Structure 1
Amino acid sequence: MLKIEGIAAFVAVAEAGSISEAARRLRLSKSVVSERLAEMEKTLGATLLHRTTRKLTLTEDGAAFLERASRIVHDVREAAADLARRRGTLAGPLRIAAPVTFGRMHLGPALYPFLADHPEIELTLDLDDRRVDASSDGYDAIIRHGLIADSRLVAWKLARSRRLLVASPDYLSRHGRPASLSDLENHRGIFYTNRGVADWRFQGPDGAVVIRGRLAFGVNNGDVIHDAAVAGLGLALLPVFIAGPAIGEGRLVEIDVGYWPEPEFIFMAHPEGRNPSAKLRAIADHLKKIFGDPPYWERGS
């Protein structure tokens, strides 16, 4: 008889690519995950994973079994969550990925009261600035700032996000204050490398305009971009939720070049074809309410 614990262990290992990572996600020891896999393979009479010292890969049988196994695990979790809903509670595991800076500054503080009100939800929040794959990395949802380019995701808008071109007073005193788009070509820029290009994108009366900047510093984290701008390394295009406090304190200055940066949004997105759970919808609704429209970090800015 197959056990749901063994199926869940197999799905976690297949999604994580390693027993160690699967054990971390399941909050179990590696030995327990290995034992559950071995017991399930023995029951099925099939090898589901090729094991080497460097990686795990699915066998042909494993690949065939994974689709239904994933559905079984999802359905069992949702059945348990449905029972909890009938009792008037939200319960069960939930795994979400989000950017580091937004997670630290705004997402975490917004989630704490929700989790206190729903103690049976088991939320794992992974803060990571890389563009994770929501489906293959085993996330119920991802939260991102910008645009969702992956067509396999269904996105819910949580809040709008206004960006500003900023620099430190020290940088502007040394290099001058740009007043037009053409002036930007003579300035050094600090760029978010996860976007893949060193450019500034603006909107004007005639549509979008792209200005290629001179790279002073590239990094994949919003906190470090903020700090580099405050340190006077160059111009940076930062969302108000990051730059707002430094502008208020005078450590950064907003720069007006006659055009406005392209608008962006804070999104929650879940894999297409996967029915979002009630607890995921509840978290999204809570975040929309907490962030507000306009979001609280932009009021008065």
Structure 2
Amino acid sequence: MVKLDGIAAFVLVAEAGSISEAARRLRLAKSVVSERLVELERSLGTVLLHRTTRRLSLTEDGAAFLERAARITREVEDATAEMAERRGSLAGPLRLSAPVTFGRMHLGPALYPFLATHPDIALALDLDDRRVDAAAEGYDAVIRHGPIEDSRLVALRLAPSRRCLVASPDYLARHGTPRSIAELERHGGIFYANRGVADWRLVGPEGAALVRARVALRVNNGDVMRDAAMAGLGIALLPSFIAGAALRAGALHAIDVGAEADPEFIVLAHVEGRRSSAKIRALVAHLRSAFGDPPVWDRPVSPA
């Protein structure tokens, strides 16, 4: 007889690409996951995975079985969540990914009361500034800042996010405050490396413009960008959820060049085709309420 735990182990191994990673996510010994796979293959009378010392790959039968197996595990998870919801409680694992700075500054504090209200939810939160593949890496949902380019994901807006050009008072005293895009291009820029380009796209009365300032620093972390701007290294385009406290404290000044960055959003995205689980729906509602509308980090600050 085919056992559900064997099906779940197979799906997770296929998604993770290794037995070790699947075992880590399941919080089981690697030998237990291997045994479940062997038992599943014995029950089905076929080999589902090619195993070598370097990698795993699906056999033809494994690829055919995976689609139905993944659907079975999702249905069981959804049914379990629905039963918990009917009992007035939410339970079970929930795996999320989020950017480091936003996770540390805003998501974490918003999650703590949610988890206190729903103690039977086992949350695994991975903070990572790279764009993780939600489907391939086994996440129930990902928190993102900005547009969602993966067509497999369904994005649910949590809060708006305003971005502005900022610099330290010391930097502006030494180099002057730019008042136009032409003046801005003569300054040093601090750029977010994960966006792939060292420029700023700003929109003004005359339309959109790409600003290419001199590169003072490229880095893949918002905390470091803010700190570099506060240290007087150059001008940075930062979301207010990162720069807001420094702006209100006067450690950074907002710069008005007659053009602004396009507005963006904080979103929660889950894999297309999967109906939002009760846990995801409850989390989205909680985060929207916790962040507010307008969100607390978007309180207006006067420009320099």
Q: Please indicate the TM-score interval, normalised by the length of the shorter structure.
A: over 0.9
Cα distance in 1 for partners of 2:58, 2:171 equals 54
Q: Write out per-residue CA displacement over residues 238-283 of structure 1, whole angstroms, 9 at most, x where no aligned residue.
A: 0111011112222211111111221111011111111110110110
Cα distance in 2 for partners of 1:43, 1:221 equals 48
Cα distance in 1 for partners of 2:49, 2:193 equals 35
Cα distance in 1 for partners of 2:89, 2:279 equals 9
Q: What SS does structure 1 have at the residue aligned with 2:15?
A: helix
Q: What SS does structure 2 have at the residue aligned with 1:130?
A: coil
Cα offset, 1:207, TM superposition: 2.9
Q: Write out per-residue CA displacement over residues 212-239 of structure 1, whole angstroms, 9 at most, x where no aligned residue.
A: 2222211111111112212222111001
Distance 1:53 1:231, change over 3 A: farther
Query: What is the alpha-carbon root mean square deviation over aligned residues?
Result: 1.4
| Amino acid of the structure 1 residue aligned with 2:231 | A
Q: Write out per-residue CA displacement over residues 88-116 of structure 1, whole angstroms, 9 at most, x where no aligned residue.
A: 11122221111111011000110110111
Match of 2:153 in 1: 153
Cα distance in 2 for partners of 1:4, 1:231 equals 56
| Amino acid of the structure 2 residue aligned with 1:225 | M
Q: What SS does structure 2 have at the residue aligned with 1:62?
A: helix
Cα distance in 2 for partners of 1:234, 1:45 equals 64
Match of 2:65 in 1: 65
> What pairs with 1:1-301 in structure 2 (closer than 5 Å)?
1-301=1-301
Cα distance in 2 for partners of 1:231, 1:51 equals 52
Q: What SS does structure 2 have at the residue aligned with 1:89?
A: coil
Cα offset, 1:144, TM superposition: 0.3
| Amino acid of the structure 1 residue aligned with 2:243 | A
Q: What SS does structure 1 have at the residue aligned with 2:293?
A: coil
Cα distance in 2 for partners of 1:215, 1:82 equals 52
TM-score by length of 1: 0.96
- Structure 1 unaligned regions, length at least 5: none
Cα distance in 1 for partners of 2:105, 2:133 equals 23
| Amino acid of the structure 2 residue aligned with 1:299 | R
Cα offset, 1:47, TM superposition: 1.8
Cα offset, 1:300, TM superposition: 4.7
Q: Which moved more, 1:169-178 or 1:138-147?
A: 169-178
- Structure 2 unaligned regions, length at least 5: none
Cα offset, 1:204, TM superposition: 1.4
Q: Which moved more, 1:120-129 or 1:97-106?
A: 120-129
Cα offset, 1:135, TM superposition: 1.4
| Amino acid of the structure 1 residue aligned with 2:35 | E
Q: Write out per-residue CA displacement over residues 16-35 of structure 1, whole angstroms, 9 at most, x where no aligned residue.
A: 11122111211112221122
Question: Where does structure 1 differ by over 4 angstroms across 4 or more consecutive aligned residues?
Answer: none
Cα distance in 2 for partners of 1:52, 1:229 equals 49
TM-score by length of 2: 0.95
Query: Aligned residues: percent identity?
Result: 70
Cα distance in 2 for partners of 1:18, 1:241 equals 37
